Amino acid sequence: MTDLLNLHTHGNVAHVSLNRPKAIHALTLEMCEAMGLALLGWREDDNVKLVLLDHAEGRGFCSGGDVAMLRNSATEDDGVRAREFFHTEYRLNHLLFTYPKPVVAFMDGVTMGGGVGISQPAKYRVATENTKFAMPEGAIGLFPDVGAGHYLPRLRGQVGKFLALTGARLDGAECLWAGLATHYIESSKLAEVKARLIADPDKVEDILSEHSAEPPMARLQANRRKVDQFFAPGTLEGIIAALEADDSDWAAKELAAVRSKCPATSKVALRQFEENADCKNFAANMAMEYRVASRMIMRPDFAEGVRAVLVDKDNAPAWNPAEPEGVTGEMLDAIFAPLPDGEEWTPFRES
């Protein structure tokens, strides 16, 4: 296994704790492989009735994936290691989505990128006052993956497009309102909740409900009408034009957020919404996302985004194309096209 994970069983409850605190528990290939193997084993174990998913210590649940490895792979081995990572990570995402036993994910603290991918498939998703949820991939020239093509289009109104195009960070109350969390529990109660679940896993819904608190007013709820109005257009150019036409501070702030993201990433995200409508199941969505990921990591925008945000930290990426109009339908068609025979993503076999 790996020392970056704590894998236990407590009676009838299996427990996965991410244990890479210095990187806010960002997922590595080794971590994804170990989680997948453990979950496959527990899937066949009749003694396991419930799975808990959390982090051991640190500032948050999970900040994403191993971005440095992805960038190095794109420049050093033509993306071989990166594709292996995505294939393994997406298998883990799909395994959790189709898991026959209930999973409780504790989204306490930073929950972004890869952390979204392992928490959103869970039947029970617990947010706290510490939750910071986001899909910020547009800032580094990637795209909202790990199942976001399935989850975001299913959020109320235009919230999904808003999250994909702005990279907005939601707190725990907003996650509950948006449906990204099923429960809101104060972080001081989590240890007690986990102990109760381990003692009586058959009463998971009662235990979570009993310890739930009334969250503060969700800021996103107060802005829902604006989100639905300005993010209703079906094109990136249309959304930008709608925001530009409004003189409110809110529109100006969100316009700046949209314009700061990689134009190709933003158009890929909108295309995901369209493509997902034709996906017959979650596996089809993950196959679609794998095609996109395999190609997006090889585009210059990805290396440039990582440089600007994580290496030089000047936050001044030079995107290519620099404007939405430069991202053509032909470019998107190539990004979303099927992969050659034998290179497509496949899920774990069913039990």
DSSP string, 303-327: HHHHIIIIIS-------SS-SGGGS
Q: Is the dihedral of CA 342, 347, 348, 350 positive or negative?
A: negative
- Report d(CA 278, CA 340) in Å as an integer: 20
Residue 70 burial class via C-beta count within 10 angstroms: exposed 0-12, middle 13-18, buried 19 and up: buried
Calculate helix-pair angle for 249-260, 159-166, nearest 10 degrees. Answer: 60
SS3 15: strand
Residues in the chain: 351
Maximum alpha-carbon separation in the chain? 60
The percent of residues in the chain predicted with pLDDT above 90, rounded, is 96
Give domain status of residue 350, yes or no: no
More confident residue, 58 or 188: 188
**Mean pLDDT of the 55-73 span:** 91
pLDDT in tens, 88-102: 999 999 999 999 999
pLDDT in tens, 105-137: 999 999 999 999 999 999 999 999 999 999 999
Give domain status of residue 13, yes or no: yes
- Residue 61 lies in domain: 5-336
**C-alpha 185: how far from chain center:** 21
| Strands in 40-123 per DSSP E | 50-55, 60-62, 103-107, 110-112
Q: How many CA atoms lie within 13 A of 250 on its CB side?
A: 13
pLDDT in tens, 223-253: 999 999 999 999 999 999 999 999 999 999 9
SS3 104: strand
**Mean pLDDT of the 21-25 span:** 93
Give domain status of residue 341, yes or no: no
Q: What is the per-residue pLDDT for 57?
A: 84
In b/e form, how buried is each residue of 199-237, taking b as 16+ CB within 10 angstroms?
eebeebeebbeebbeebeebebbebbebbeebbebeebe
CATH number of the domain that residue 243 is part of: 3.90.226.10
Q: Which contiguous run of DSSP H or E holds residue 191? A: helix 190-199
Q: What is the per-residue pLDDT for 318?
A: 97
Contact 240, 259 (CB under 8 A): yes
pTM to 2 decimal places: 0.96
Give domain status of residue 191, yes or no: yes
DSSP string, 252-266: HHHHHHHHHS-HHHH
Give domain status of residue 199, yes or no: yes
Give the neighbor-by-neighbor strand order of the sheet with 110-112: 60-62, 110-112, 132-134
Contact 108, 190 (CB under 8 A): yes
> Residue 170 gets which letter from DSSP?
B
Calculate helix-pair angle for 282-296, 329-336, nearest 10 degrees. Answer: 120
**C-alpha 12: how far from chain center:** 29
Give domain status of residue 344, yes or no: no
**Catalytically active residues, by annotation:** 65, 114, 137, 145
pLDDT in tens, 334-351: 999 999 999 999 999 885
Q: What is the per-residue pLDDT for 351?
A: 58
Nearest 5°: CA angle at 114, between 139 and 347? 125
pLDDT grade for 41, boundaries at 50, 70 and 90: very high
Contact 36, 74 (CB under 8 A): no
Give domain status of residue 152, yes or no: yes
Token reading at 121: 């498939």
Token reading at 39: 């979950």
pLDDT in tens, 290-324: 999 999 999 999 999 999 998 999 999 999 999 99
- Report d(CA 71, CA 75) in Å as an integer: 7
SS3 112: strand
Q: What is the per-residue pLDDT for 342?
A: 95
Please tell me the total count of domains within the chain: 1
Q: What is the per-residue pLDDT for 172?
A: 98
- What does residue 62 show for φ and ψ, rounded to 5 degrees? -165, 125
- Report d(CA 32, CA 300) in Å as an integer: 26
3-state secondary structure 192-222: HHHHHHHHCHHHHHHHHHHHCCCCCCCHHHH
pLDDT grade for 1, boundaries at 50, 70 and 90: low
Q: What is the per-residue pLDDT for 77?
A: 95
Give domain status of residue 202, yes or no: yes
**Mean pLDDT of the 256-260 span:** 97
pLDDT grade for 18, boundaries at 50, 70 and 90: very high
